[in-house]
Amino acid sequence: MEKKRDNEQRLINLITNILGESDCRVNKCFESDAEIVKFGDSYLLFTMDEFSSEDMLLCDNPYTFGWNMAIGGISDILACGGIPLFYAHAITVDKNWDEQFIKGLFQGVLSVLKKSNTAFIGGDVGEGNEWRYTVSIIGKLDGKPIMRKGGDAFDIIYISGEIGSGNLQAALKLYPNEHSNIIPAFNLRLKESVLIREYATSCIDTSDGVFNALNTISQINNTGYIVENLPYIKDGLALTKRLSLPKTLLFLAEAGEYELLFTIKQDDEQEFLQKATANGFLFYRLGQIISSPARILFEDGQKIDLEGLNISARDYNTTEEYLSKIMDKLSGGLVVW
């Protein structure tokens, strides 16, 4: 049976082959988080993201709900080294939402727009039985764009924040009895992205989780990776411990935290960290790109071979079934020693 993720890529290629590609477009399909368009002597960036209940975002706090979706859209622009300029949207409002909820949601969106100096330029509104929210953002780029393509063997892998806030939200939806006042808010990495674009050889946001982000970088660049000492979010560790679940799910599962995962040259690492410290930024070193296709995680004294873990949430009817399959793999043949 064809996997849904593979089918999505097949559909993208099918549609692109029919519609064609502009000569102004710099990137090829899948090579960057946003579309990069040559515009005079500079570049424009364009991205479009849709959110729905499938993304497992917590809706309890409408302000944080709106904030998180706006961050999710803007992160694509930042991953390319760009600056967001214009924000448009299309929303299908859940008919059960009241006016107070809708106001709170868009107050959250507005806060992101103000902090990123991004202008709202309009959109489309409808109503239905289930909510959907689509974000479209235009950005600009001064200098060379950063793409997913570009990371090379021996490059060092960094991430802009802790791992697991998206998967924590998903877990709180799956286990409502564990629900607390914890509603993780994603981080706007606007300032950090300015420094990242000076040094990054490749960059991707973690919209589908850190594991998927690493795999995408590896696949596009024909490389592998070794990672260790993963910086898990504290609340995520506490929840997985209470539920007797492996903390590795915060890394492997696909509800992303929209951080920026990037690679830099070894020779640039010291200078990069000095500038990060001077600016008050905290980046986490995950590991290194390697020339072989191996995908290795060292965790809690174990070496875990991830190369054969070809599992996607889209291939299962329920999230519970998907998580069960991952845990079977973790307890089965993935651990090398």
Rg for the chain, CA atoms, rounded: 20
Tens-place pLDDT, residues 71-120: 999 999 999 999 999 999 999 999 999 999 999 999 999 999 999 999 99
Cβ pair 171, 243 in contact under 8 A: yes
Higher pLDDT, 222 or 29: 222
**Helix 62-79 vs helix 190-199: angle between axes, to the nearest 10 degrees?**
20
* 113 and 174 assigned to the same domain: no
Same structural domain, 74 and 175: no
pLDDT bucket at 328, cuts 50 / 70 / 90: confident
**Residue 101 belongs to some domain of the structure:** yes
Same domain, 166 and 309: yes
The predicted model scores a pTM of 0.93
Cα angle: 46, vertex 48, 51; to 5 degrees:
155
pLDDT (0 to 100) of residue 34: 97
As for how many domains the chain has, the answer is 2
- Give the domain-ending residue among 141, 166, 181: 141
pLDDT score of 334 more than 70: no
Q: What is the CATH number of the domain that holds 223?
A: 3.90.650.10
* Rounded mean pLDDT, 284-293: 98
First-residue to last-residue Cα distance in the chain = 32
Answer yes or no: do 164 and 281 share one domain. Answer: yes
Give the residue from 166, 172, 266, 264 showing the smallest Cα distance to 212.
166
Residue 317 and residue 190 share a domain:
yes
CATH code of the domain containing 134: 3.30.1330.10
- At residue 159, the 3 state secondary structure works out as strand
Query: Of 74, 108, 141, which residue is a domain's last?
Result: 141
pLDDT (0 to 100) of residue 231: 98
The one-letter amino acid code at 31 reads E
> Are 216 and 263 part of one and the same domain?
yes
Q: Distance (Å, rounded) from C-alpha 283 to C-alpha 278?
A: 12
Q: Is residue 3 part of a domain?
A: no
Whether the pLDDT of residue 151 is over 60: the answer is yes
Domain that residue 257 falls in: 156-331
Looking at the structure, do residues 162 and 120 belong to the same domain, yes or no?
Answer: no
In this structure, the answer to whether residues 177 and 218 fall within a common structural domain is yes
Binned at pLDDT 50, 70 and 90, residue 177 comes out as: confident
- Looking at 86, 112, 141, the residue that finishes a domain is 141
